[in-house]
Amino acid sequence: MRKRPPIITVMGHIDHGKTTLLDALRQTSVAAKEAGGITQHIGAYQIEYQGKKLTFIDTPGHAAFSAMRSRGAAVTDLVILVVDAVESVKPQTKECLEHIKVAKVPFLVAINKMDLPNAVPEIVKKDLADNGVMVEGYGGDIVCVPISAKTKKGIPELLEMVLLMTEMMKLTANPSGPLKAVVIESTLDPKRGPAATVIVQSGTLTVGREVHTPEASGRVRNLLDYRHQPLTAALPGDPALILGFKQAPVIGSVVVGQEQAVKAPTVVTKTAVSEGEKLKLLIKADVSGSLEAIVNNLGDAVELISQGVGNINESDVLLAQSTGARILAFRVKVSSQAESLAEKEAVLIKSYQLIHELLNDIQDQALKLLEPTIDEQVLGEAKVLQEFTVRGGKIAGCQVNLGKLSLNDMVHLFRDDQLLATSRIKSIYQGKESVDKAKRGEQYGIGFANKLDFQPKDKLVAFKTL
């Protein structure tokens, strides 16, 4: 085991200076003659400060952060939360705090735009305290550093704290061990083909090596650093751009070598409650008065994962997916992107216009925690007979015993009457022929939108929500 660079994510509300801070950090270790040449990056980069490397993830904020976490890829060691010294805590700041809390990752606060004449850092600290973040001097120990990303004042102090906090973590990895890297960005370049930015967590990524994720594979044709310069190898903690995948891998998926491909991690999505658990909810309302009325009437059987005012977005779906929560929308809209993602990730969203209907529904669900399919109509059931591997993915060989299972149906996976996971039917095969329905009394191969850890004798139940 050897020391590796810490991996840091910068998050914050839009226009609070996240990008400006990333640019300021990037230029910190760049000589003046090189500064103008670094115009491209790959979604992550490294700087060197006081002889030590620091890796920063440069992604679209908490959406990508959540996508990585929801797929079990905890890649971030530390988060820098950027808060505007004038605007203070805003809705996306609160969303970031919720994602940081769920991920259980350490963080510090950078109070930005201290160069502005109306900057009031004390108000920021008070607002953070009102949202459960107790910074130093306000009864807590969360580090808070005043900075100006524009003038670069306070940047050295910020980096000092980053070094201090990450040194205490004693971060190590084995560069000679099995390869494990996490995809943080994925694109389809019209000239170069599929391109994936990864952070290496263990092992060594080299040119010519075969690489696999649960949904993509290929051979590393080219390996580039954040300056788009060729690399021969990327070590633990290093960011790198891989060219050579046959198709673009999913953000958050884990890259492994050929020797580990058969053991590639699978993801079990949990969307329903089990015995002894509380009903996990994410609630969004149109105004704060309605939200307060709803939250004040939740019973002890409910665990409130998140609450807020405004429409349902992709970030809400990702938070619900990774915590096993249901989303309740009171007089707010659900964006088309959120709807699509909820269907893909098997997250239940229910909308309401009347508070008493919402509260009655919560009570019904909380009273029937042992019956997680209360709001669902069964469409068909099938028994898993065998597991097949087709094009790198797992297919369940099934016997349909009740009703029918159709393409794009939502399905629960049960083992000994215990609900394990939920997914969507992505493909159905009868022999080698692709079909759109699996009918009673016949055998089919069924593929899923996300990986399910099924085994023979498991039961698949297709359903629709009521």
Query: Domain containing 109 — which CATH number?
Result: 3.40.50.300
Say if residue 87 is in the same domain as residue 6. yes
Say if residue 195 is in the same domain as residue 304. no
**128 domain residue, yes or no:** yes
pLDDT of amino acid 30: 45
Q: How many domains does the chain have?
A: 4
Q: Burial of 458 by CB count in 10 Å (0-12 exposed, 13-18 middle, 19+ buried)?
A: buried
pLDDT confidence bin for 273, thresholds 50/70/90: very low
The pLDDT of residue 167 is above 50: yes
Say if residue 206 is in the same domain as residue 140. no
The pLDDT of residue 120 is above 50: yes
Say if residue 255 is in the same domain as residue 355. no
Show the domain range for 380. 376-465
**271 domain residue, yes or no:** no
**273 domain residue, yes or no:** no
CA–CA distances in Å: residue 344 to residues 25, 359, 465: 36, 27, 15
Say if residue 445 is in the same domain as residue 381. yes
Say if residue 135 is in the same domain as residue 158. yes
Report the side by side order of strands in the sheet with 279-285.
Answer: 302-309, 279-285, 326-330, 349-352
pLDDT of amino acid 115: 95
Closest listed residue to residue 47, CA positions, set 183, 194, 226, 206: 226
Say if residue 161 is in the same domain as residue 234. no
Say if residue 9 is in the same domain as residue 45. yes
**338 domain residue, yes or no:** yes
The pLDDT of residue 364 is above 90: no
Domain boundary among 367, 388, 418: 367
Tell me the pLDDT of the chain averaged across its residues: 83
pLDDT in tens, 13-50: 878 888 888 888 877 554 333 333 333 456 788 888 99
**270 domain residue, yes or no:** no
The pLDDT of residue 207 is above 60: yes
pLDDT of amino acid 40: 46
Domain boundary among 331, 348, 367: 367
Say if residue 196 is in the same domain as residue 48. no
CA–CA distances in Å: residue 452 to residues 150, 324, 413: 47, 15, 8
| Report field, pTM of the whole predicted structure over 0.85 | no
The pLDDT of residue 266 is above 50: no
Separation of alpha carbons 361 and 303, rounded Å:
15
Domain boundary among 367, 395, 425: 367
- Domain CATH code at residue 395: 2.40.30.10
Closest listed residue to residue 392, CA positions, set 270, 251, 249: 249
**67 domain residue, yes or no:** yes
**446 domain residue, yes or no:** yes
**151 domain residue, yes or no:** yes
Say if residue 341 is in the same domain as residue 206. no
pLDDT in tens, 398-456: 999 888 999 989 898 888 877 788 888 999 999 888 999 999 889 999 999 887 889 99
- Domain CATH code at residue 348: 3.40.50.10050
The pLDDT of residue 222 is above 90: yes
Q: Which residue has the tokens 């099934």?
A: 398
Say if residue 157 is in the same domain as residue 201. no
The pLDDT of residue 180 is above 90: yes
Say if residue 316 is in the same domain as residue 362. yes
Q: Is 322 or 286 the better-scoring residue by pLDDT?
A: 286
Separation of alpha carbons 278 and 301, rounded Å:
5
pLDDT of amino acid 82: 93
Length of the chain: 466
